[in-house]
Amino acid sequence: MIKIVRILRPAFARAYVRIFGGFREKSWLFWEVILPTIFMSSIIFAYENLNAPKVFIGFVVLGTIMMNFWYNVLWGMGSVLYWEKETGNLEVYLLTGSPLPSLLLGMALGGMFNTSVRSIAMILIGVYVFQAEFIPAYLPYAIAIFLLTLFSLYSMGMAFASLHLIYGRKGIRLNEVMGEPISFLSGQYYPINVFPTVIQSIASLMPITIGLDGIRRALILGEGLDTLWIHISILSIMALILFPLGIYIMNRIVEKGRRDGRLILRWI
Amino acid sequence: MDYAIETLHLTREFHTDEGVFKALEDINLKVREGIIFGLLGPNGAGKTTLIRILSTLLLPTSGEAYVDGFDVVKEANKVRKIINLVSGGERPGYGILTTEENLMYYAQIYGLSRREAKERIEEVNRLIGLDEFLHKRLNTLSTGMIQKYALARGLLNKPKILFLDEPTLGLDVENARIIRRLVRRLVDEGLIKTILLTSHYMAEVEELCDYIAIINKGRIIAEGTVEELKNMVSREVIYNIDVKAIETPKLEFLKSIDSVVGYTVRMSNISGEARIRIVMSYEDISRILDTLERNRIKILRIHQDRISLEDVFLKLVGRGLADD
C-alpha cells in the first residue's frame, strides 16, 4: 500500500503541473483544441467532396483522436523528459529517490487529460458539425480496447522517453521517425486493408493499429466481442510485454546515464 | 570514527572527443558531522562533479564514497533519503506555478500528503521567509527570491546532510549575505547536521566554513581550518600595490623575481586602476617596486595586507582563484 502511494503521489503532483499549468495559459484553447480540429476538418471535407461513404467521417475522427494520444506519448513524455533534464528538474527529481516511472506516469496522466479534452471537442465537432455516426451500445468494448491501447502506448513511451536522455536534442528526430510513419501505417484516416498484406502485418505489430481498428469496429461497424476478442487478446499480450520492457529499458538507461553523466550534463 | 561524508581514492573521468578528462583524481575526504565543510576551488576544479557523486547523481569511475555511512553507489536510495542538494544559479521548478505550488510539488514527490506538505511549507516559510513571493509565479521572481525558494526546496525533506553548490552564485551583495546568514543558522540551530558547501568565493568560505578543502584540477591540494590554512602562508609577506590600469600579461616579469610566490591582478573599470596582490616568500618590496617602475608601471598606492585564503591558493597553485 505504502509503495503504491509512493508511486502515485509524485505522479499526481506531476499531472497537476501539466493540467493546471496548461490551463493557466490563456491560449490553451487555441493550441489544444481549435488548431487540431481544423486539420481534422480539412480531411473530412476532402472525403465529403470525393463522396466517400459516411463511415469515413467517423474513421477520421477516431483516427485523429488516437493519433493525438500517440503524439502525446512522443512529445508529452519523451520531449518533456528531455526538457526536465535541461531545466534541472530531473536532477532534483532523482534526488528525491522517487521512481522515475512515477514522473512519467504523471506526465502521461496530465497529457492524457489534456488530450482527452481535445478529443471530446473533436467528437462533438464530428457528431454535430459533420454528422459522424457512432454506435453508443458498443462503447464499453471501445473503452476496454482504448484503455489497453493507452497502456501499451504509454509503456512504449517510457522506453522512448529514456532514449531522449541518451540522445538529447537528437531525440526530437526520433519523435519524427516514430510520428509520421506510424500515422501512415496505423491507418489514421483510412482502414489499413488498403495496404498489401505484408505491410498490414507490419502495421499490426503496433498497438495503435490494433487499438484503432478495434475501436472503429466497435463504434462504427457495431461489432461485438465475437470479433473484438482478438483485439483485446493481442492488446493484453502487448501490454504484458511492453510494460515490463519499458521499465527495464528505462532503468538500464538511467543507470547508464548515472555512469556517463548524461543525467546531469546539459549540453549532451 | 564515523564521518558524515567520506571518500576513498575517488576518481571520475569523462570521455570526450579530445580524449579522457579527469574531473576528479584520488580524492580522499573526511567530513565530520555537525560542521559546514567548504570545498573551495576555481571554476572547473571538480567541485560540482564531487557534489554530484556524493548526491548519487553521478557514478565514480573508481574509488568509494560514503554519505552518513551509506555507499553512494550501492545504497543510493538510502543516501537520497537523508540528503538534499541546492545549486546556485539554477531554477528548478515550473515557471507557470507559484512558489507555493512548486514547493507543494516537490514535497509530494518526497511522498508527503497534501496536508503534510502544507505544514512543512509553513515551517520552511517561517524559517526562510517566503511570504513576499509565496503566491507569485516562479517565472516572475528575482534571482534573490529564486535562491531563497531553492533553499526552501532543499529543506522540504528535513535532510541530515545538505549539499550547497555555489549557493550565492549570481546574487548581489545583500542577497548573498541573507543566504549566508540562513546557511549558518541551519547548522547553528541543529536543523541540518552537516553542510558541504562549494564556492569559488573566498570570503564566503572564510565566513561560513568550519573546515575547508582546496581543490584544483580535480585534486585536493590542501585542507584544514581557516587558521590552519592561513598558517601555510604565515611566513609570507603580502602587499597590495595599486597601479594605473595595465594588461595582466605585462606583469610576467614578476615571475622571474625569486621572492615572488604568486600574484593576482584585479582591474577596476570605474577608477581605471588595477590592484596587484603579491605574495612574497620574504620581504622584498623595494625590489618589486623598482622592477615595476623600470617597466614603466605607474604606482599609485602600496600597503601591506593580512593573509587571506586567496593567498593560500596563490601559494599552492601560483595563480589567483578568479584567474581563469
Segment A166-182, tens digit of pLDDT: 777 777 788 788 888 88
Interface test with B, best of A14, A96, A262 (most B CBs within 10 A): A96
pLDDT higher than threshold 70 for residue B112: yes
Chain centre distance of CA B244: 31
User: Measured between alpha carbons, how far is A93 from B92 in angstroms, rounded to an integer?
Assistant: 10
- Given pLDDT bands bounded at 50, 70 and 90, which one contains residue B324? low
Chain A residues close to B109, C-beta within 8 Å: 9-10, 13-14, 93, 96, 98
Q: Which domain does A53 fall in, by range? A: 2-260
Give, for B264, the enclosing helix (H) or strand (E). Answer: strand B260-268
Average pLDDT over residues B131-152: 93
Average pLDDT over residues A226-243: 95
Residue A79 is assigned to a structural domain of this protein: yes
Which residue of chain A is at minimal alpha-carbon distance from B57? A258
> For residue A230, what is its C-alpha cell?
482478438
**ipTM score:** 0.85
What number of residues does chain A have?
Answer: 268
Rg (CA), chain A: 19
Residue A246 backbone phi and psi in degrees, to 5: -60, -45
pLDDT at B122: 96
Smallest CA-to-CA distance from B34 within B143, B186, B140 is with: B186
Interface test with A, best of B98, B109, B153, B162 (most A CBs within 10 A): B109
Smallest CA-to-CA distance from A100 within A91, A109, A112 is with: A91
Give, for B71, the enclosing helix (H) or strand (E). Answer: strand B70-71
How does strand B70-71 pair with strand B62-67?
Answer: antiparallel
Residue A46 is assigned to a structural domain of this protein: yes
The residue ranking higher by pLDDT, B321 or B218, is B218
User: Measured between alpha carbons, how far is A161 from A82 in angstroms, rounded to an integer?
Assistant: 8
Average pLDDT over residues A95-111: 90
Which range has the worst mean pLDDT, A15-19, A87-91, B315-319? B315-319
> For residue B324, what is its C-alpha cell?
581563469
Is 0.90 topped by the overall pTM? no
User: Measured between alpha carbons, how far is B126 from B143 in angstroms, rounded to an integer?
Assistant: 20
Which range has the worst mean pLDDT, A119-133, B210-224, B271-285? B271-285
Residue A265 is assigned to a structural domain of this protein: no
pLDDT at A268: 43
User: HSE-up of A176 (CA within 13 Å, CB side)?
Assistant: 5
Please give, rounded to a whole number of angstroms, the shortest distance from the CA of A167 to a CA of chain B: 16
The residue ranking higher by pLDDT, A133 or A262, is A133
Residue A165 is assigned to a structural domain of this protein: yes
Residue A266 is assigned to a structural domain of this protein: no
Residue B56 backbone phi and psi in degrees, to 5: 70, 10
> For residue A193, what is its C-alpha cell?
486493408
Please tell me the total count of domains within chain A: 1
Please give, rounded to a whole number of angstroms, the shortest distance from the CA of B323 to a CA of chain A: 24
> For residue A261, what is its C-alpha cell?
553523466
> For residue A126, what is its C-alpha cell?
464530428
- Given pLDDT bands bounded at 50, 70 and 90, which one contains residue B174? confident
Chain A residues close to B91, C-beta within 8 Å: 87-88
